[in-house]
Amino acid sequence: MPEIIAIVCYFGILFGFAKSRRRQDLTHSDFVIGNRSLNKWTTAMAAHASDMSNWLFMAYPGMIILRGGQHVWAAIGLVLIMWVNWVFIAPRIRVATERSGSVTLCGFFENQLEASWPSGRLMISIALFIFYTVYVAAILCGVGLLLQALFPISYIVGVLIGISLVLPLLLMGGYSTLAEIDLFQGLFLMGVILFVPCFIIVQSGGLSPILASIASKGISINIFDGGGTSLLRSLFLMLGWGLGYLGQPHILTKFMGIKNPADLKFSKRIGMSWQMISLFAATLVGFVGIATLQNLRDPEMVFIELVRVNFPPFVSGLFLCAIIAAIINAMSSMLLVLSTTASEDVYQRFFKKEATEKQKLLFARMACLVSGLIGLGLALPNFAKINTLVEYAWSGLGATFGPLLIVSLFSAKLTKGGAWMGMGTGAAVVFVWPLLGIDLPPLIVAFPLSLAAIYLTGQLTQPKQEDLA
């Protein structure tokens, strides 16, 4: 009962805030991009807190338990490539999208090509739909497992509760409200994930007993353990996760929404600090779980078990709200991207070119609902681990859009054929990768193949002349 009270109190405050920010005169532009009005703090936290999802609390610490220190390379890759995102991608995409009036990646790519590209818009919409619904399913799996562990309810009921928490917050406010929620919840979840392992380390008598316990179980915390072969695997792990940052629309749209592009440098410092602290803390969660938990059946439940074992029910309920906070941040941002694409790039482009702001807003909200329900349908069977689903969706988005984004921003030789083939190659490689049974992150292969396809096809076509539509 105390856990229920804590969770109800937390979400009562959250829904109260969202309702207070609800505007009767909300426009479609407000809903999808916030009229580019975010400040530097909100941009920083929205870009990062909407990124990690329950992967930070569940999947990543679970992989630390399974792989030991070597899996830290995934975190290193994420930090390095996110820094690249802030320094090289964020300023350019912010200025370029405002200049062209683009609020979606589809619109941005079309404007970079300086020509109509309906087939490209359709392909982008399909790719977003496929990979984001898988991503949403992974997030809902996390909330289903969390609520099943906390309360005497089934996994399916937990998933249904999860979708019922996210959709109302998204439909009420849109982009700006979600970004403000990201700011609060990002600070909250960082504090929780850092406090929990540090508290347990102190209660256990310091780092020495923790390290001794880990060593007694035959698990290495050394990220360089294993020699040359291990280093190669570590490089693959680093790039296999890190490269995905270059093609995540739910993160890129946060760069597009800042009010003053000059504030991006400050936002970078805040956001990168948050990311490094949070990933360090999540690594500690995995190692502390190895040292202190016995007979943990599911490694992805490590944070939940640590909290429930070491804290009283009300406090544990409040701390576990941090996982739900991460879920809300990520899932709402992803559904917002899907709904924006549906209203801008499908509804207005193919069905009603003269759609009013009110009609586009209504369609965007309907698309949010439909996309969420499809993700719900994928999550209900609980057929895969969270890490597996997240890696698949993350890789698909990164390989489909990352190479094309780089060429769009840094080259004047992009062609429709190159763009089409680049996206198709990246998406196709990731889409079929699970069927090949190769123990290698799909981005390692898909990303360079996509870049090569853009370049080679561009060499065979006249720049910005051939219309594949």
pLDDT digits 0-9 by tens, 437-447: 888 889 999 99
What's phi and psi for 258, nearest 5 deg? -70, 145
Other Cβ atoms within 10 Å of 295 Cβ, number: 4
pLDDT band at 217 (very low <50, low <70, confident <90, very high): confident
Mean pLDDT for the stretch of residues 226-231: 58
Residue 258 DSSP symbol: B
More confident residue, 60 or 230: 60
**Residue 38's beta-bridge partner residues?**
258
Query: What is the C-alpha separation between 179 and 369, in angstroms, rounded?
Result: 19
Query: What is the C-alpha separation between 407 and 102, in angstroms, rounded?
Result: 17
Structure confidence at residue 32 (pLDDT): 64
When mean pLDDT is compared across 68-77, 375-384, 391-400, the lowest value belongs to: 375-384
Mean pLDDT for the stretch of residues 94-123: 81
Structure confidence at residue 35 (pLDDT): 66
Domain 2-387 has CATH 1.10.3720.10: no
Question: For residue 402, which amino acid is it?
Answer: G
286-307 per-position pLDDT tens digit: 999 999 998 888 898 899 999 9
Query: Is 467 a residue whose pLDDT tops 60?
Result: no
Task: Give Cβ neighbours of residue 249 (< 8 Å, ≥ 6 apart).
Answer: 104, 105, 128, 337, 397, 401
**b or e along 29-55 (b: 16 or more beta carbons within 10 Å of the residue's beta carbon)?**
bbbbbbebebbbbbbbbbbbbbbbbbb
More confident residue, 359 or 194: 194
Distances (CA, A) of 113 to 94, 126, 341, 452: 17, 20, 18, 18
116-174 per-position pLDDT tens digit: 777 777 888 888 888 888 888 888 888 888 888 777 888 888 888 888 877 777 776 66
pLDDT band at 462 (very low <50, low <70, confident <90, very high): low
Q: Are 159 and 140 in contact (CB under 8 A)?
A: yes
Question: For residue 212, which amino acid is it?
Answer: A
Query: What is the C-alpha separation between 327 and 159, in angstroms, rounded?
Result: 12
- Upper half-sphere CA count for residue 246 (Cβ side, 13 Å): 29
Structure confidence at residue 468 (pLDDT): 44
pLDDT band at 464 (very low <50, low <70, confident <90, very high): very low
Domain residue extents for the chain? 2-387
Average pLDDT value for the chain: 84
pLDDT band at 49 (very low <50, low <70, confident <90, very high): confident
pLDDT band at 310 (very low <50, low <70, confident <90, very high): very high
Query: What is the C-alpha separation between 46 and 32, in angstroms, rounded?
Result: 14
Length of the chain measured in residues: 469
Query: Is 191 a residue whose pLDDT tops 90?
Result: yes
Task: Give Cβ neighbours of residue 195 (< 8 Å, ≥ 6 apart).
Answer: none
241-262 per-position pLDDT tens digit: 999 999 998 888 888 888 888 9
Query: Is 320 a residue whose pLDDT tops 90?
Result: no
Angle CA 406–408–412, to nearest 5: 120
| Nearest by Cα to 31 from 178, 131, 146 | 178
Q: What percent of the chain has pLDDT over 90?
A: 30
Query: Is 405 a residue whose pLDDT tops 80?
Result: yes
**Residue 258's beta-bridge partner residues?**
38
pLDDT band at 466 (very low <50, low <70, confident <90, very high): very low
Query: What is the C-alpha separation between 262 and 147, in angstroms, rounded?
Result: 42
Mean pLDDT for the stretch of residues 69-83: 93
Helix-then-strand count for the chain, H and E? 20, 0
Read off the pTM.
0.86
Here the tokens at position 450 are 């996509």
Residue 443, H or E segment: helix 442-460
Q: Classify residue 172 by burial, with Cβ atoms within 10 Å: 0-12, 13-18, 19+.
A: middle
Query: What is the C-alpha separation between 261 and 175, in angstroms, rounded?
Result: 18
Query: What is the C-alpha separation between 427 and 438, in angstroms, rounded?
Result: 17
Query: Is 469 a residue whose pLDDT tops 70?
Result: no
Structure confidence at residue 246 (pLDDT): 92
